[in-house]
A and B are shown apart, each in its own frame.
Chain A
Amino acid sequence: MKDTDASGNAGILSFIQALNVNKINKIDRVNGIDRINRTVSSIAKQFSRFSTEGKIGILGILCIILMAVFAPVITIYPPQKITGDSLEPPGPGHILGTDELGMDIWSQICYGARMSLTIGLAVAFIAGFGGGAIGILAGYIGGHVDQGLMRVIDVTMALPSFPLLIVISAFLGPSILNVILILVIFSWAKPARIARSQTLSLKKNNYIIAARNYGAKPFYLLRRHIFPEVLPVLFVLVIGISSHAIIAEAGLAFLGLGDPTSKSWGMMLNHATSFRSIYFTPYWKWWLLPPLFMLIFLLLCLAFISRDMERILDPKLKIKKGF
């Protein structure tokens, strides 16, 4: 663990230097148009740092987000209404056909994207930044608080998360809120641990000691010096957590523990696979394949982005991972 932390730190420091250079550049902004130009070019510059795979990932995620946001515009039928014959094959009426109740599959795919994205984002942001904040505070305060937190983190990370998730949602009843809550409880530990180790090493830096000697209050130090430097690492973790959350939600829904009021991709898989004799009929081609491909596509996009961000953050990783 220590080894990875140390190499992580080296990477973070180099990234931070790059950030600081950016900040200095930003000071001499002249007027509005220039500012817009700069933002566009800086986004383009950031984008060009990603490899081909990373670019594909970003574009893919953008497509899925657009699909989720504009779901009512790009679909003709509401997802939970019977709008055609049962199990219609793909055709002009229904682009991807219909399921056993006669609901449009394309609509279900578009609206289902909302579910996956909501769960992924909500869990990732709450767990990532909440856990990060806890880790930073514990690392900064140190002493017994820190020791206690480390124990809690160790135990949380050793818990078998998916079996527990199944059992808890079986008992508490399936709802989006419950799923988000449980996933947050199981995924805050990793960001907390990494944020803590980052803070511990940052705390010893001369400029932070100097700032403190000049009379900086703890809150100011945390906000001004420590948090911005831990932030990039947290972002990488957030992507990882969100893909875990999406997998967990799909898995739960696949087992029949999804929110019954919504149609997520996992729920579609569940309905299709629990349809008797689906494998002996051609129905799986348009009923089972679309949600399966969408889920895999979303997860691969997230994975590409997170791998690329790791690489950008930590140039040493390039050697370590053997790329």
Chain B
Amino acid sequence: MVNDRNSLIFRLLSTLFIILVINFFLPRMMPGDPFSTTSADEVGEDIIVMTEEQHLYYINYYGLDRPLPEQFLAYMKNLMTGNLGRSIYYKMPVSDVIMLHLPWTILIVVSATVISTISGVVLGTLSAKNRKKGSDRIMMTGMIAFAEIPSFLLGLILLLIFSVYLRLFPLAGAVTPFANYNGMVEQILDISYHAFLPVLTLSLSQLTGVYLLTRNTLITVTTKDYIRTARAKGLGEKNVWIRHALRNALLPVVTRTGFTIGIMMGGVVLVENVFSYPGIGMTLRSAVVGRDYPLIQGILLVIAVSILICNLLVDKIYGKLDPRVVI
């Protein structure tokens, strides 16, 4: 097990290192000078004209006039001190821009993870209990077809149905603009009203994975001897399912949740753009459109680090849940 953990940490660190290397070399691999592209050819694109002073600042920040190894060291040093550079578009430090938008992304990703995990486990348990009935088969097929639709297309459908056609939910934003709240409750209600569709989209796209996993592990677990023992010693059906079967079946679900967050961080970029939700996904798009390279790199780094942290956390939680894993 010690070996396993070491290899996990090694893998995470090397992944981080590769992302850093990609982040470092990309602007240098671009044809020409990354800061000289200032023309706009897309509709709605903001034209950013850099002054000579700004230009020199970026050349200096990236240290483009020094040898490569030295540049890399300087880059790492900047990162260690939390200096991600300055955003060209927002005209403020990249870390501040990210801090402004990251909470929204965390809000929807975390709520979607919680909702999809809980409802997936509940549905999976129900399905495993009724696995010989016809209703289960219908549920399975429906769920599987659902899983194949990528989250942003699903989001577009939900947006068209609920916001455009039925006009039940807002089309864009995370809060009502210029709203005056009478107390916390109203503010929370407004935020959840705006977050509802993005969270629903993300949850639905992750639901099937949790559902199938719970269902399959439960079916395997219920054939084990200790379940028969539990039944034989007179435990109620509810007790058997919850304390004996489900507790063991949950282990793989926990592991999966970590990977799910990784997949979701990719999907959330698109989903936020579908709902014009002001998280880092929207910021990434506007940074891409406006060619705000320091901001693009900063966001990539934040996404990568958050995925790696999730993987580590899952590893820790797993150790707590499963006493057989000795840390």
Which residues of A line the B interface, CB within 8 A?
Answer: 151, 154-155, 158-164, 166-168, 170-172, 243, 247, 250-251, 254-257, 260, 269, 273-274, 279, 284, 288-289, 292, 295-296, 299-300, 302-303, 307, 320-323
Contact = CB atoms under 8 A, between A and B. Distances in A.
B86 interface: no
A255 B270 contact: yes
A200 to B, nearest CB: 19
Interface residues on B, range: 35 or more
Contacts of B288: 166, 170, 255-257
B173 interface: no
Nearest to B160: A284
Given A273-B274, A279-B163, A171 B148 contact: no
Interface in B260-283: 262, 265-267, 269-270, 273-274
B85 to A, nearest CB: 15
Overall SS of chain A's interface: helix
Contacts of A289: 160
Contacts of B212: 321
Contacts of B291: 170
B104 interface: no
Given A163-B304, A300-B149, A322-B219, A292 B157 contact: yes
B225 interface: no
Contacts of B235: none
A170 B303 CA distance: 16
A322 B132 CA distance: 10
Given A155-B18, A273-B274, A322-B216, A160 B304 contact: yes
B144 interface: yes
Contact of B43 (A160, A161, A243, A274): A274
Given A158-B15, A273-B274, A163 B22 contact: no
Given A159-B19, A164-B300, A172 B30 contact: yes
B153 A292 contact: yes
Contact of A159 (B15, B156, B164, B296): B15
A319 B303 CA distance: 38
Contacts of A299: 148-150, 153
Contacts of B171: 279
Contacts of B12: 158
Given A163-B269, A170-B296, A255 B216 contact: no
Contacts of B23: 167
